[in-house]
């Protein structure tokens, strides 16, 4: 399966999101919202759901920050490694803000 790495406009904050280095980006590094485009494998772009994905929580595993995302539409969850340019200092604020979107 071919990895698809593409730039995009954030569906939430409308900022232009550049290509990721060394990986395939699927969330906004500013507001942490993404579009549900992957199903079984991060980067497969194999779902038709297309709901908004919001960060639920984060944790450190093997010295890497991982962020758990949940789809507001189908409630599928998946984890992603944080990208080097993610503005993680704002992540707690956004997780609290988005909780109501996932009820």
- How do the domains of the chain map onto residue ranges? 8-102
Q: Once rounded to an integer, what is the mean pLDDT over residues 42-64?
A: 86
pLDDT digits (tens, 9 = 90+) for 6-32: 788 999 999 999 877 766 777 899 999
Handedness of CA 89, 82, 36, 15 (dihedral sign): positive
The distance between the two most distant Cα atoms of the chain, rounded to a whole number of Å, is 36
Residue 3: other Cβ atoms inside 10 A: 11
Report pLDDT digits (tens) over 78-94. 888 888 889 999 999 99
Average per-residue pLDDT in the chain? 86
Number of H helices, E strands in the chain: 1, 6
| Cα–Cα dist 67/49, whole Å | 20
Q: What is the mean pLDDT of residues 60-89?
A: 91
Q: How far apart are CA 15 and CA 46, in angstroms?
A: 24
């Amino acid at each position: 399966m071919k990895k698809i790495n593409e730039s995009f406009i954030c569906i939430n904050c409308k900022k232009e999101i550049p290509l990721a280095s060394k990986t395939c980006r699927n969330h906004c590094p500013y507001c942490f919202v993404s579009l549900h485009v992957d199903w079984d494998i991060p980067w497969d772009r194999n779902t038709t759901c297309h709901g908004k994905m919001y960060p639920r929580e984060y944790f450190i595993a093997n010295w890497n920050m991982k962020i758990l995302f949940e789809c507001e539409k189908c409630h599928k969850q998946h984890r992603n490694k944080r990208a080097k340019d993610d503005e993680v200092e704002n992540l707690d604020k956004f997780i609290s803000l988005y909780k109501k979107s996932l009820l």
